[in-house]
Amino acid sequence: MLPSIPFYMIRHGESVANLGEYASGHIDVELTPRGLEQARNARKIVESLDVKPTLIVHSHLQRARITAEILNENLDIPMVQDPQIAEQNYGDWEGQPWSLSRQPIRDFIDPPNGETHAAFGERVKATITRHVNGNKGPIMIVCHGGVFRALGALYGEKIYGVENCSLHHFEPVVTQAKFPWTIRKF
């Protein structure tokens, strides 16, 4: 299981795939003007935190990378690009309308010629564990909706519909055996 250390997670700003309602997965789509504005608004929230992150870890995909760069404009903290925190590889579903793939993904049906949900979950767990354990202060992970979904699935929880650029603080709660954090959304 993941370490009981607080951390932040934020989904990237709105991408052209979000706007076009198709599964992007590993397709490197750009942010929309609205996505850029969402990142600038989220930056204000991050800058107002009582306990600020000391490191930003972000996916190599530009929608997460650019969101991270905007969030860090005034914080000026170290950033680490890690492709292991990227979205699930949706295989044949990439580029297809969400109307065809959203429900199978939520039902944990493995995408044809893509990354299995089990492999994706293990990748997410290993990557978050490595970065949380390797840093003295709370980290902020700038990632994708699927990373939230995979993290929840590791504990039997369903985390769907995370909004673009919504910041979440994961605070450990020792007494909660099933899902060991309380999640505060900003």
Residues with catalytic roles: 12, 87
| Residue 152 counted as an annotated binding residue | no
Q: 143 - beta bridge partners?
A: 11
Strands (E), the chain: 7-11, 55-58, 79-81, 139-143, 167-172, 181-185
Instruction: Decide if 141 contacts 57 (C-beta within 8 A).
Output: yes
| Residue 124 counted as an annotated binding residue | no
| Residue 16 counted as an annotated binding residue | yes
| Residue 74 counted as an annotated binding residue | no
| Residue 17 counted as an annotated binding residue | yes
| Residue 87 counted as an annotated binding residue | yes
The DSSP result for 112-133, as a single string, is TTS--HHHHHHHHHHHHHHHHH
Q: Which residues are annotated as a binding site for substrate?
A: 11-18, 63, 87-90
